[in-house]
Amino acid sequence: MMVSGARKILFKISSAVAERKRISHQLYLVTGTRINSCITAS
């Protein structure tokens, strides 16, 4: 019982970390393309 509970918690933590990484990667892509367009526009 305890093992499955710990496994569920670990899975929740790992999925939350993966989600955060994905979001930060998307933000990085968006800001990167904005910076590139600003550089090319000037």
SS3 for the chain, per residue? Answer: CHHHHHHHHHHHHHHHHHHHHHHHHHHHHHHHHHHHHHHHHC
Domain range for residue 38?
Answer: 1-42
pLDDT by residue for the chain (42 residues), tens only, comes to 678 999 999 999 999 999 999 999 999 999 988 888 877 876
What's the pLDDT score for residue 12? 97
Cα distance between residue 26 and residue 16, in whole Å: 15
If one counts the domains in the chain, the total is 1
What's the pLDDT score for residue 26? 94
What's the pLDDT score for residue 15? 97
